[in-house]
A = this chain, B = another copy of it.
Amino acid sequence: MTEQNRGSLVSWREDIKVLDCTLRDGGLVNNFRFDDAFVKALYQANVQAGVDYMEFGYKASKDIFKVEDYGKWKFCDEASIREIVGENPTDLKIAVMTDVGRTDFKKDIIDRKDSVIDLVRTAMYIHQIPSAIEMIEDAKNKGYETCANLMAVSKVNDQDLDNGLQLLADSCVDVIYLVDSFGAFYPEQIQRLTDKYMNFAAKTGKKIGIHAHNNQNLAFANTIEGLKDGISYLDATVCGMGRGAGNCYMESLLAFLKNPNYKLNVIMDFIEKYMLEMKKHYHWGFDIPYLLTGVFNSHPSSAIDFIKEGRTDYSRLQQELMDMD
């Protein structure tokens, strides 16, 4: 990675890919219950805004999860995606996520020649890497682009992370993601981790991506820190919609990127027409309880429960999180 490739504030880099995961991470807010008009409009907005990838949701196992408990984007049936995109005669690529142990990948991931899906992203924890690689190899053999999303690395020690990154670097995966599941990292930690990921990636020609959470109001800052340090795949969601404190804002990211293919005004119109209504019904984004789980490097579930229960005793939550540590 040369300095030139890392770009400057007035240039743009060809290697940058923006991935919209509004349906997938936002689906964790509304149980994937997006109506078709919303999904079609988001698809069209992403096409027009020049976004590179749109993730439609999870390929969850129907043996493990009951279909009636979720909206259809928990499962991303081929037919469901085709209802929105047809044959997808656009430059926007289609992505889905598979979870280790929660996807019937051998059956539910069909050959790419029969699918409109382009990219299969596999999410894993550190101890699941061998299982994830089996899934990634399966997807790769079926013709897909592949990503490895190694979650919760803020809980992983350096030695384990090095070993895990070596396994992924030696695998057939195309992109390895730095994932800040708990919104626990500060930019200078992202810088150090990016250097580490980039070093592993350089050996075997992988790309690196980043998926940030906004617990400490740092999702966008951490995304552009990683970008500056050489990361090329950037996850974002419209209005930051995502579990708990949410994600990097698509509108901030497109405003920052200087590639003239990206059209911020299209996302602005989508926000006006669709997201204002969505915000009336569902709650996400930076708030004190999420800040606290971020600070204490803890899963956001305790903050989500705290808010659901209508609690406001923030200093007690702080104490509880310290006790859990």
Which of B189, B217, B272, B312 lies in contact with A312, CB distance below 8 A? B272
Q: Contact at B220–A217, with CB atoms within 8 Å? A: yes
Q: Contact at B269–A314, with CB atoms within 8 Å? A: yes
Complex Cα distance A34/B222, Å?
A: 35
Is residue A318 within 8 Å, beta carbon to beta carbon, of the partner chain? yes
Given known A-B contacts A188-B9, A189-B9, A288-B251, A218 and B216 have beta carbons under 8 A apart? no
| Residues from 122 to 155 in A contacting B, C-beta threshold 8 Å | none
Is residue A255 within 8 Å, beta carbon to beta carbon, of the partner chain? yes
Is residue A225 within 8 Å, beta carbon to beta carbon, of the partner chain? yes
Q: Mark A264-283, 1 if CB is under 8 A from B, else 0.
A: 11101101100010000000
Q: Contact at A187–B221, with CB atoms within 8 Å? A: yes
Count of A residues near B, CB < 8 Å?
40
How distant is A10 from chain B, measured CB to nearest CB, in Å?
A: 12
Complex Cα distance A189/B318, Å?
A: 34
Is residue A76 within 8 Å, beta carbon to beta carbon, of the partner chain? no
Complex Cα distance A220/B225, Å?
A: 14
How distant is A193 from chain B, measured CB to nearest CB, in Å?
A: 13
Is residue A319 within 8 Å, beta carbon to beta carbon, of the partner chain? yes
Closest to A220 in B: B217
Is residue A224 within 8 Å, beta carbon to beta carbon, of the partner chain? yes
Is residue A63 within 8 Å, beta carbon to beta carbon, of the partner chain? no
A268 contacts across to B, CB distance below 8 A: 288, 292, 314-315, 318
Is residue A14 within 8 Å, beta carbon to beta carbon, of the partner chain? no
Q: Contact at A228–B291, with CB atoms within 8 Å? A: no
**A and B contact pairs by CB, cutoff 8 A, 28 listed:** A9-B189, A186-B224, A187-B225, A188-B228, A216-B220, A217-B217, A217-B219, A217-B221, A217-B252, A218-B221, A220-B221, A221-B221, A249-B291, A252-B291, A255-B291, A255-B292, A255-B295, A265-B315, A265-B318, A266-B315, A268-B292, A268-B314, A269-B315, A271-B288, A271-B314, A272-B312, A272-B313, A276-B312
Not counting A221-B221, A255-B295, a sample of 19 additional A-B residue pairs whose C-beta atoms are within 8 angstroms of each other reads A9-B188, A9-B189, A187-B224, A188-B228, A216-B220, A217-B221, A217-B249, A220-B221, A249-B291, A252-B291, A265-B318, A266-B315, A268-B292, A268-B314, A268-B315, A271-B288, A272-B312, A272-B314, A276-B312
Closest 6 CB pairs of A and B: A221-B221, A268-B314, A268-B315, A265-B315, A255-B295, A272-B312
